[in-house]
Amino acid sequence: MLEIPAPKLMHSPAPTFWRRLAPLAALLLSLVGAAGAANTMDRIDLPQARFSTGDNMAWREPDFDDSGWKLLNTTQAYEGQGYEGYDGYSWYRIHVVIPSALKLSTDWPERLRVYLSAIDDADETYLNGVRIGATGRMPSDPLGYETRWDSPRDYAVDLRSGLVRWDRDNVIAVRVYDGGGGGGFYKDMPYLAMPHRVDGLQLDAGQARYHFLADGRVQARLDLRNNYPVLQRGVLQTEVFDLVSGRVLESGKRSITIAAEKSLDLQWIWPARPGIQVRYRFVDARSGRIATATHDLPYRLTPPDAPTPALHGAQLLGMRPGTPLHYRIAATGRLPLHFSAQGLPEGLKLNPLSGVISGTTPAAGSYKVQLQVRNALGSTKRVWTLVAGEQLALTPPMGWNSWNAYGLNVTDELVRKAAQFLIDKGLAAKGWNSVNIDDGWEAPERRADGEMMGNARFPDMKALGDFLHERGLHFGIYSSPGATTCGGYLGSLGHEFQDAASYARWGVDYLKYDLCSYAANMSKTPTLDEHRKPYQLMGEAISRQPRSMVYSLCQYGEQQVWTWGASVGGVAWRMTGDIADNWNSVLETGFSQAPHTRFVAPGRWNDPDMLVVGQLGWGDKLRPSRLTPDEQYSHISLWSLLAAPLLLGNDLPNLDEFTLSLLTNHEVIAINQDALGKAAQRVLNQDDWQVWVKELEGGAKAVGIFNMGSSFRSTRIESNRMGLENRFQLRDAWRQKDLGLQSKHISVNLPAHGVMLFVVK
């Protein structure tokens, strides 16, 4: 499967950000030769390969005659190079002369690195007939097929094996299985290289763990791993740099030794405030080679919750009359909390201890309910309006989705854990109340009567729905209008009404419907009608169910879906291809939304895709988001200003303190959930500054000022450029702090890709 629609849908605008991404290795570790040497002898690119569909183990042999095979590029899927729509087995054969001079480029000539970028979906790789690596699993595997479409294939050959034929032709034969969507090599340039000893040191500052101390500093722990079977010895220097003042605050140096394939646990205590950067530099004692890494330190802005009771979350809930309702009141305060409600319509009851409202939605109408929460320290009240009618999602959907963490390896257990963590970590108390299973839950085949079921990892969908509802959480699911989903699982084609009925029986509250393989059912340049048709059909199918099911369209913004999504019953629609955790992707999915924000209204949400903060992995090894802390503040601020659906995609059991603080700021969330339901307009985009202004209910405005540049800078924005009065009250939403009466302008001093988010009255 693929993470962007382009290769699946040949007609869609081709997002190119993947091609701009540096290989993973370059992100983790930047190496500088002792003499600054970098020449072509360091690396041999593998831009082309011979290709054939089918499967034959004889094709791994170096002497097999592949001269009749077609020559393909290795940075583009084979779909798109003449093999449209082909799924199944295929082979690539790369011929390469490996010069013995390559050995001179390293201080440790014991390994040949075979970097094959990523392969859609699974591969087995052979060098001169001998297997050197495999990623994912073929369907014939006893454990069953497993896609690892986005994993880097970074294989190593031990040179003592004698496998490499120096200065002669070598054949790298790659057996591929594609389970659906695009296929084969598709990402960065594959290459051969000889690593240096120091390459074995995983100086990956992004993997550090942080614990915030009461004195405003942060404790950093870094597990420095040596991946090679040789001793690493050298000096590690750290320099703490303040980007605001341009000064080095402290520097340290220590000699380190790490045994073969072992790690060293390093700890420091550093300042935690905007603009603090740590620069690491390791000098190998024997070769003098240097490894460096730079990391922006996280800092928390969200103040801790008060111990007195407080009510949070959306002030409106839209439900269809007569349908089942489960709703968890979002509230904080020292436990135990006690809930009560005045004016709750008949048919609904409130559990005073959990704050879960459940029952049946009353007849059409608007019901104002006075919610109250109290604890030993006091009590507070707020009006919450239940709007019984046909319009759902009166405020942007909020919750968690399995995709960005678990990809196609999601399980019932992981989903339940995520739900429990939403509650236990205090996220549900701020309004994060949906739990959505993305792709990967579907059985490999329908029952004889055509019924869809969960696969072995989802033994009982109804029980899972009940588990979520008991906790007042909403249950979301995923399908595709095509024969298969993006991940190659079964789609709903021809079974739309049957599937909608199953979802209703299981208690589903939310459906994400993902175009993917339906492209095969449309013409090459599909018309608007062709795009609407499958969405209209499923929209009708779910509207006939006795439930309130939120319908989220995922067709990557084709045919200006924001202009017609609501007419097929949709309440949210993806605007672009898939998000990734890098700044370019945030630019392409989020900041690109400026022309379309005027289409946003209650129940009509433009969806720039799910959040990429916290531990992510898309089904691969989990690792922290690659956005810097400032980029993460900007990401959450922008999504709040855009009134975008807020769907977490991270591994919740591994929630770190920084991410938790990022996601529990109720003043920032309130901007997103504001009842007026407007999205911000971009009012300024100049000199690498952007200003976005969102109208809020009651006349206030939310203003986001973003530093799009790559250095710490300051600016002053005149109030008339933001549509503000000459004099205004300013509040810093992240710090939850009044800044008092201002006149004529707002001044900011911001890190690269950083933000200030204000509420202006």
The set of catalytic residues is 514, 578
Residues 355 and 313: their CA atoms lie apart, in Å, by 13
Question: 53 near 138, Cβ under 8 Å?
Answer: no
* Residue among 485 and 672 whose Cβ is closer to ligand GLA: 485
Interaction pattern, residues 490-519, with ligand GLA; x per rule: CB under 6 A: ------------------------x-----
Among 402, 485, 545, 637, binds ligand GLA (CB under 6 A): 485
Closest distance of CB 251 from ligand GLA, Å: 43
Closest distance of CB 554 from ligand GLA, Å: 5
* Residue among 205 and 515 whose Cβ is closer to ligand GLA: 515
What is the edge-to-edge ordering of all strands in the sheet holding 122-127? 70-73, 48-53, 88-97, 169-178, 122-127, 130-135
* Residue among 298 and 526 whose Cβ is closer to ligand GLA: 526
E strands in 259-391: 263-271, 276-284, 290-296, 310-312, 316-319, 324-328, 330-332, 338-342, 348-350, 356-360, 365-375, 378-388
Residues 261 and 256: their CA atoms lie apart, in Å, by 14
755-760 and 727-732 strand pairing: antiparallel
Alpha carbon dihedral 325, 328, 330, 331, in 10-degree steps, equals 130
The radius of gyration of the chain's CA atoms, rounded to the nearest angstrom, is 27
Give the interface size with ligand GLA as a residue count (CB under 6 A): 11
Is 150 a binding residue for ligand GLA by CB under 6 A? The answer is no
* Residue among 190 and 619 whose Cβ is closer to ligand GLA: 619
| Structure tokens given for 219 | 């404790």
Task: Candidates 130-138, 276-284, 485-493, 722-730: pick the segment binding ligand GLA (CB under 6 A).
Answer: 485-493
- Cis, peptide link before residue 336, omega less than 30° from 0: yes
- Cis, peptide link before residue 123, omega less than 30° from 0: no
Closest distance of CB 182 from ligand GLA, Å: 11
* Residue among 558 and 578 whose Cβ is closer to ligand GLA: 578
Is 442 a binding residue for ligand GLA by CB under 6 A? The answer is no
- What lies within 8 Å, CB to CB, of 219 at 6+ separation is 210, 211, 212, 213, 267, 268, 269
Helix (H, G, I), strand (E, B) or coil at 635: helix
**Among candidates 119, 117, 138, which has minimal Cα distance to 181?**
119
Closest distance of CB 37 from ligand GLA, Å: 41
Interaction pattern, residues 1-20, with ligand GLA; x per rule: CB under 6 A: x-x-----------------
Among 486, 504, 575, 642, binds ligand GLA (CB under 6 A): 486
* Residue among 486 and 680 whose Cβ is closer to ligand GLA: 486
Closest distance of CB 403 from ligand GLA, Å: 5
Task: Candidates 331-339, 374-382, 484-492, 664-672: pick the segment binding ligand GLA (CB under 6 A).
Answer: 484-492
Closest distance of CB 120 from ligand GLA, Å: 12
What is the helix, strand, coil percentage profile of the chain, to 5? 20, 35, 40
* Residue among 557 and 754 whose Cβ is closer to ligand GLA: 557
Is 403 a binding residue for ligand GLA by CB under 6 A? The answer is yes
Is 120 a binding residue for ligand GLA by CB under 6 A? The answer is no
* Residue among 318 and 491 whose Cβ is closer to ligand GLA: 491
**Among candidates 193, 188, 178, 179, which has minimal Cα distance to 51?**
178
Is 179 a binding residue for ligand GLA by CB under 6 A? The answer is no
Question: 205 near 280, Cβ under 8 Å?
Answer: yes
Is 586 a binding residue for ligand GLA by CB under 6 A? The answer is no
In the complex, residue closest to ligand GLA by CB: 486
Closest distance of CB 6 from ligand GLA, Å: 11
Phi, psi of 440 (to 5 degrees): 110, 5
Task: Candidates 389-397, 416-424, 481-489, 665-673: pick the segment binding ligand GLA (CB under 6 A).
Answer: 481-489
Number of Cα atoms under 13 Å in the Cβ half of residue 420: 10
Closest distance of CB 647 from ligand GLA, Å: 10
Closest distance of CB 535 from ligand GLA, Å: 15
Among 438, 558, 607, 651, binds ligand GLA (CB under 6 A): 438
**Among candidates 731, 656, 639, which has minimal Cα distance to 300?**
656
Interaction pattern, residues 543-582, with ligand GLA; x per rule: CB under 6 A: -----------x-----------------------x----
Task: Candidates 95-103, 467-475, 483-491, 541-549: pick the segment binding ligand GLA (CB under 6 A).
Answer: 483-491
Is 588 a binding residue for ligand GLA by CB under 6 A? The answer is no
Phi, psi of 173 (to 5 degrees): -105, 130
Interaction pattern, residues 593-622, with ligand GLA; x per rule: CB under 6 A: ------------------------------
Task: Classify the phi-psi angles of 215: left when phi > 0, otherwise alpha if psi is within -120 to 50, otherwise beta.
Answer: alpha
Closest distance of CB 388 from ligand GLA, Å: 31
* Residue among 512 and 666 whose Cβ is closer to ligand GLA: 512
Among 274, 487, 557, 570, binds ligand GLA (CB under 6 A): 487
* Residue among 15 and 309 whose Cβ is closer to ligand GLA: 15
* Residue among 179 and 603 whose Cβ is closer to ligand GLA: 179
Q: Which helix (H) or strand (E) holds 537?
A: helix 528-543
| DSSP character at residue 490 | B
* Residue among 373 and 516 whose Cβ is closer to ligand GLA: 516
Closest distance of CB 438 from ligand GLA, Å: 5
Question: 649 near 437, Cβ under 8 Å?
Answer: no
Alpha carbon dihedral 533, 534, 540, 546, in 10-degree steps, equals -170
**Residues 273-312, interacting with ligand GLA (CB under 6 A):** none
**Among candidates 66, 165, 61, 156, which has minimal Cα distance to 111?**
156
Residues 685 and 699: their CA atoms lie apart, in Å, by 24
Q: Which helix (H) or strand (E) holds 140?
A: none
Is 172 a binding residue for ligand GLA by CB under 6 A? The answer is no
Other C-beta atoms closer than 10 Å to the C-beta of 269 total: 12
Residues 226 and 193: their CA atoms lie apart, in Å, by 19
Task: Candidates 99-107, 390-398, 482-490, 655-663: pick the segment binding ligand GLA (CB under 6 A).
Answer: 482-490
Closest distance of CB 652 from ligand GLA, Å: 18
Is 651 a binding residue for ligand GLA by CB under 6 A? The answer is no
| Structure tokens given for 427 | 């996220």
Query: Residues interacting with ligand GLA, by CB under 6 A?
Result: 1, 3, 403, 438-439, 485-487, 514, 554, 578
